[in-house]
Amino acid sequence: MPISGRWMKLDPDYPKLLEVAQQFYGDVQETLGSVLFERIEIQRKFYDESERALFETERYRKLRELVEVLPDGSGFLMPGARLNVPRFLSASRRWFSESGCVIEATLSAETPIEFAPEEVRIPSLGLTSRRVFFCTGAHDSLQDLFPGVPNHPVHGEILRIRLPEKLECDTSVCRHWVTPIHSGEKETPVFDYLVGATFDREHPGQGPTREGSLLLLRSAADLLQLSLGSDHVMEHQWGIRAAMKNRRVLIQRHRKYPQAAALNGLGSRGSLLAPTAARDMLNIMDQQPQQEKAAPAAGTVNLTAMAHTAVRRRYRSGDWLLDATAGNGHDTLFLAGLGEPSRVIAVDIQQTAIRQTQQRLADSGLQGVTLYHAEHAMALGTILDEGLVRDVGAVMFNLGYLPRSDHQLITRAETTIPALRHAIDLLRPGGVLTVLAYRGHSGGSEEAESVDQFFSETQAGQVSVIPGNTDDSSSPVLFLFQKSTSVNSDA
């Protein structure tokens, strides 16, 4: 889908990814003599009035040439594409088997693999090759060669349902999707559809769950405006997606053994991403090791802009907004411009930062922001304990040191983690917490790891982790946390 997510954002990489995928699957179709890849129309329905308002006020202007608004205003139609995965797998496996160019074998982490200067050997299979590629999905069998791949597998569930008649629109999407089923070489004569998929990063491998089945059935009923019950469910499937914390495809060449590479993290868009990812991996392997470059998908990301966008999207009129690390005042200025300055609070332990923030606000003509000269855990704890504010829509953190000042004065996990706990308690349901952690200075990586551990343990909401550069472990990393709408407080 070119437009995805609750914010209905257009993927700028989609046209190029689709072009590569269409060329690849077209070549495969010609070789196998079977139709595998098709262009389709997708119906995207709005989940609630806030989504409709976002589309009408901000998104439609940018998407009008790509979408068609539904007559009743409940959503829009957009172009898409679909791979018949069962047919692709069965036909390609048959072709490989008949061509005699594949050996089927089961490998494990204990299978000996020998690396010579210009070749790779697997003695148990009698194989010698120039290269070896590891595409192991969610299995953790690569921990010795590629530690942490994948580092964040996701549990997912899908329902197969049977409907009394064919749906007017081929594929529909809202919080979940509904699409006709493909069953190998022949299409099923009945009206069977797949409904999916759930995402659970906390409990991978738990098997099919009753909660997952009920969630998907309710979602499909709402999306299709049909009465659906357990008698419509033909099958309940589950699996584990190979995913990375940064939600990016991983293409990694081994530093010690340049003949080896890993491709992982394709997630739920594997059919679209795989052709481009495989091409990029081959390009990297064709380079000399000392000339190795990052995969094109890596790059650098403007994390500050992403944090501001997250806050802007979740802001409600009347929200309190908190900057827990005022610094030079850039985030404070953003918050004061977004909401009411009188409902913005900025905190910093350094008096220099408070003065600079005050001056930046004055230069912009913004008055009424409350400035606290205090350590952030203490300040947020006081605000929380004394009930000074309610309906906090967003809290922003920038961890590290104050630019152009004493670099020995840095934020530390001992105070940052308690401050994050207070921040989550202060947030209203659905509010956001952004933490931009700088890892390049002494102590920065350790603090970022503590923040990562803290978010992995909290049950109060969902977090996304976005590094500034996937190929640079010292680059900044952004944590985007949204508080659950059904949890009042839990850290």
CA distance 84 to 462: 32
Helix (H) or strand (E) holding 252, with range, is strand 250-253
Give the pLDDT confidence score for residue 290 in this predicted structure.
Answer: 46
The chain-wide mean pLDDT, for the chain, equals: 85
Give the confidence band of 465 by pLDDT, cuts at 50, 70, 90.
Answer: confident
Residue type, 30: E
Main-chain dihedrals φ then ψ at residue 162, nearest 5 degrees:
-115, 125
Q: How far is Cα 309 from Cα 466, in angstroms, rounded to an integer? A: 14
pLDDT score, position 289: 57
Q: What is the pLDDT of residue 251?
A: 84
Token pair in block for residue 214: 């009920």
Local confidence band at 184 (pLDDT 50, 70, 90 cut-offs): very low
Average pLDDT, integer, range 243-253: 77
Tokens of residue 61, six digits: 């202007």
What residue has token string 């978010």?
A: 455
The β-bridge relationship of strands 344-348 and 370-373 is parallel
- The angle that helices 376-385 and 413-426 make with each other, rounded to 10 degrees, is 30
CA-to-CA distance for 477 and 440, rounded, in angstroms? 11
**Torsion-angle region of residue 384: left (phi > 0), alpha (psi -120 to 50) or beta?**
alpha
Contact (CB, 8 A) for 361 and 329: yes
Q: What is the DSSP letter of 200?
A: B
β-strands 75-83, 68-69 pairing: antiparallel
Q: Domain limits of the chain?
A: 111-151+245-291, 303-483
Distance CA 250, CA 134 (A): 11
State the pTM of this model: 0.58
The pLDDT assigned to 281 comes to 86
Mean pLDDT score, 396-406: 77
Q: What is the pLDDT of residues 18-27, one digit of tens each?
A: 999 999 999 9
Who contacts 140 (Cβ-Cβ below 8 Å, separation ≥6)? Answer: 150
What pLDDT does residue 487 have?
44
- 460 within 8 A of 483, measured Cβ to Cβ: yes
Instruction: Write the pLDDT tens digit of every residue in 195-227.
Output: 998 887 777 777 899 999 999 999 999 999 899
Which amino acid would we find at residue 481?
F
The percent of residues above 70 in pLDDT, for the chain, comes to 89
Residue 150: cis peptide before it, omega within 30 degrees of 0: yes
pLDDT at residue 488, as a whole number? 42
CATH number of 303-483: 3.40.50.150
**What is the residue type of 162?**
R
What pLDDT, in 10s, does the model give residues 276-309? 988 888 888 877 554 433 343 334 568 888 899 8
- What tokens does 349 get? 């332990």
234: its two tokens: 């033909």
pLDDT of 185: 43
Q: Which residues make Cβ contacts (< 8 Å) with residue 426, sequence separation at least 6?
A: 322, 380, 383, 384, 389, 392, 395
- Torsion sign (Cα): 186, 226, 156, 469: positive
Rounded CA-CA distance 290/255 in Å is: 10
